[in-house]
A and B are shown apart, each in its own frame.
Chain A
Amino acid sequence: MGETPHRSADAGTGGTRVTESHERSAGASARLVEAPVSTRTPGGTGLGGGGALPRARAFGAERGFRGLTLAAGTVVLVIIAAIAVFLVAKAVPAIRADTENFWTFEGWFPNDSEPKFGIGALAFGTVLTAALALLVAVPVALGIALYLSHYAPRRVGTTLGFLIDLLAAVPSVVFGLWGREIFLRPVQDFSVWLNKYFSWIPIFGGEGPFGKSILLGSLVLAIMVLPIITSLSREVFLQTPTANEEAALALGATRWEMLRTAVLPYGRPGIIAAVMLGLGRALGETIALAMTLGITFNISFNLIQNGGNSIAANIANTFGEANETGRGALIASGLVLFAITLIVNITARVIIYRRREFTESAA
C-alpha cells in the first residue's frame, strides 16, 4: 500500500481516522502552553523570569485571529441556513400561485396565466434514475475496486487506480455529450431488442420510439458515478490490515473467502460512505440527465420508451423560458431536491460517524 496520495481527493470518507490521535496531542499541548499565559494578571511582573513574556491582552492578535477563524467557521453554518431560507423565500409565493396540487400534479406549466405544476413526476424520475444507476454501478464498481486492490499486479493496480481517479474528475457535461451522441445508438438497439422479446414485462413494454429513455439516463449516470465509487472503495480496501488478510489465508481461506471474511467487513463503513456519496452525486446530477432524458412529465416505470425527467434536468431545461412564477416554481423544485439530498447526506454521515467510532475502538 506504498502510496495513497489521493486521500484528500474526496474529502468525504473516513479520512481523518488515522490522524485523530494527532489532534489530541497537539490540542493538549496547546492547552498546556496557553494556561500560564492566560492566568497571568495584566500589569503584574509575576515570579521568576516570566516578566519577559508577552502579556495577554484583551484585544490582541491572538483573540483577533481566533475570532476570524471562528467567523469563517460560522460562515459554513450561515451558508447552509441561507440556502434553506432563500430557497423557501422564493419558493413559497410560487407554490401559493400554483393552481394544482404541488405534490401530485403531473405536469410543469408554471409560466401560464394559471400556473400549474407538480413535483411528483420529477421527484419520482430523480429517485428512479439515481436508484437504477446505483444498482448498475455499485456491484461493478466494487468488482473493479477489488480487482485493482487484490487481483491486479501492484503496478497495474496503481496505474489503473490513478486513471480511474482521473476519470472521476471528468466533468458531467462530457458524459452527457457522449451519452447523447455515441451511447444513444447501442442503447436504442438494446431497447428495441428488449422490447421485441420482453415486452410482456411492463418495464420493457411500450410502442416506442425508444432511446432517450430512463435506461439511457441511468446508464450514463452509472458510468459517471462508477469512477467515484471505485476510487473511494479501492482506497478503503487498500487500508485493510495485512495481518487480517494473512490470518484468513493462513487458516486456509481461498482468495474469495479471504475477501469476504477480512476485506469486505473491514471496508463496510467505507463502502457505505462511497455509495452514499455516489447517490448524492446521482441525485443532484443535472446536465448529463438534461442531455439524455426524453423530458416528459408523467410517472411511468417504463424504462426504455422515450421519456423520463428529473428535478435537476427539468431546472436546466426549462430555466431559459421561465418567468417570475416559473423561476419560483423551479426554485421550489430545487428546494425539494435540496431536502432529498440533505436527508441522504445526513443519514450517510450519521452512519459513518457511528461506524467510525466503532472501528476505532475496535482497532
Chain B
Amino acid sequence: MTTTVTSHRPRPAAQPESLRTKRLPRYAAPAIALAALLVAAVVVYGAGIGGPVLVVVLGALLYLVGLFVAAKAVEGPRAARNRTWSALIHSAFVLAVLPLASVAWTLISKGVERLDGDFFLTSMNNIGARDPNGGAYHAIIGTLEQVGVAALISVPLGILCAIYIVEYGRGKFAFAIRFFVDVMTGIPSIVSGLFVLAFWVLIVSPWFNDGRPSFSGFAAALALSVLMLPTVVRSTEEMLRLVPAPLREGAYALGVPKWKTILRVVLPTALPGIVTGVMLAVARAAGETAPVLLVAGGGAAINFNPFENNQSSLALFVYQQAGDASRYAPARAWAAALTLVALVLILTIAAKLLARRNRLGR
C-alpha cells in the first residue's frame, strides 16, 4: 500500500510539459527592481541630471518596462500585461499614500505645538503681531453656533423634503425635485456664500440694521444650510426607501393614517441612518471656509450672538492665520487646523460607527 501512496508524488512531473505554463522565478521581480534602480542611479548620477528622487522615479519606470519584457519572454504577453498592470496599481497606491501620509503627519506634528489651554480659552482680541499667545476660542464658538443653526434649518427641511420624495411624490414634479437635489450637491460652497451675500447680507439684512448690510453668523449658517440640505435629503431618502414595506402595511392594516405611520413607524425605523447622514453633512459644513469668509466677515473677538456682528469660524481662523505675517501665526493656524480636523473626524467616525450598527443594513 505504501508504494501506491508514494507513487502519487512524481505524477505532476509526469504531466506533459506543454500543459504547465512557464512562470518567472520568484526572485525575478526583486532582481529586476534592483537592476532597474542600479541602471537608473548610473544614468542619473552619470549624466548629473538629478538626485535620489529622480533615481527612484526612473527606476520605477525601468522596473515596469523590464518586468514587462521579462514576463513577455517567459510567460507570454497576457501574463506580462497582468503583471505590469498589477505593478502599476500597487505603485498608484504607494504614490497616493505618500502625500496623504505627509498631510496627516504634518498636521499632527505641527498642530500639537500650540495646542494648550491658552489656545482653547482665549480669543485673538488685542493680539498683535508680536504676541506669541492668542487662541481660537471665538472661532470654536463661531463654528459650533453656525453649524448648529445650519443644522436646525436644514435637518427638518431636508427630512420633510425626503419624505415628500419617497412617500408622497409622484410623477414629474417629484422627479424634478430629486434631480435638482442631486444637482444641488454639486453647488460650490463659494456660490452658496455669494447667494447668501446677495440675498441676505446685501438685500434683507439692511432692513433690520438701519440700511447698512450686516455680516453675521446667522448668514453663514444660511449658506451652510444650503450646502447641507442636499446631503441630508439624499441620505434620508435612501434610508426611507430601505424601511421594509411590511412595517408600513402593518400600520395601515391597523388603521393608522399615513402621516402618523410615517412619523411613528417609518421615521423611527430609519432614524439611525438619518442621524448618520446628518452628522456627515454637519462634518462637511464645519470645514467650509468660503461661505463664512464672505458672509460672517470673521473677527478677532468673542461674539456669542450669531444674529449680530461679525463672527469667525475655525476654518476661517486657519485661513486668516495662514495669511497673517506674524511669525507666531503659522503655529496658531496648524493648531486650529488640527482642532478642526479632530472635530470633523470625530463626527465622521461616530457617523460611520452608527451606520455600521444600523439595523436596516445596506
Contact = CB atoms under 8 A, between A and B. Distances in A.
A11 B158 CA distance: 13
A344 interface: yes
A135 interface: no
Interface string A32-69: 01100000000000000000011000001110111011
Given A22-B241, A287-B289, 6 more contacts: A6-B352, A8-B234, A33-B253, A69-B160, A80-B180, A174-B318
A34 to B, nearest CB: 7
A171 B362 contact: no
Contact of A73 (B174, B197, B226, B337): B174
Interface residues of A, number: 114
A315 B18 CA distance: 68
A151 B235 CA distance: 30
A312 interface: yes
A171 to B, nearest CB: 3
Given A66-B168, A171-B340, A341 B188 contact: yes
Contacts of A175: 103
B322 A177 contact: yes
A223 B319 contact: no
A221 to B, nearest CB: 12
A68 B202 contact: no
Given A173-B287, A177-B337, A69 B242 contact: no
A177 B93 contact: no
A30 B167 contact: yes
B257 A172 contact: no
Interface stretch (B23-31, B59-67, B273-281): B273-281
Given A16-B241, A334-B191, A177 B333 contact: yes
Given A54-B257, A287-B319, A12 B189 contact: no
B180 A8 contact: no
Given A75-B161, A169-B345, A174 B79 contact: no
B95 A72 contact: no
A87 interface: yes
Interface in B152-190: 156-158, 160-161, 163-169, 173-174, 176-177, 179-190
Given A8-B273, A284-B191, A171 B241 contact: no
Interface string B331-362: 00110010011001100110010011010001
Contacts of B325: none
Nearest to A193: B50
Contacts of A338: 187-188, 191
B288 interface: yes
Nearest to B248: A26
A131 interface: no
Contacts of B90: 147, 151
Contacts of B290: 286-287, 312, 315-316
Contacts of A353: 179
A11 B89 contact: no
Contacts of B10: none
Contacts of B341: 170-171, 174
A82 B226 CA distance: 11
B145 interface: no
Contacts of B82: 254-257
B279 to A, nearest CB: 10
Interface in A155-194: 162, 165-167, 169-178, 180-183, 193
B88 interface: yes
Interface string B222-266: 000010011101110111011111001100110101111011000
Contacts of A290: 319
Contacts of A319: 293-294
B5 interface: no
B71 to A, nearest CB: 11
A293 interface: no
A330 B182 CA distance: 26
Interface residues of B, number: 120
B294 A284 contact: no
Contacts of B38: none
A170 to B, nearest CB: 6
B315 A8 contact: no
Contact of B188 (A16, A29, A144, A286): A286
A46 to B, nearest CB: 14
A119 interface: no
In the A-B complex, the 3 residue pairs with the closest CB atoms = A284-B188, A171-B287, A143-B92
B64 to A, nearest CB: 13
B230 to A, nearest CB: 7
A6 B355 contact: yes
A345 to B, nearest CB: 4
A141 to B, nearest CB: 8
A87 B252 contact: no
9 contacts: A8-B280, A16-B238, A26-B248, A73-B169, A143-B89, A171-B315, A174-B318, A183-B102, A286-B289
A283 interface: yes
B241 A72 contact: no
A25 interface: yes
A356 B300 CA distance: 50
A5 B345 contact: no
B185 A19 contact: no
A90 interface: yes
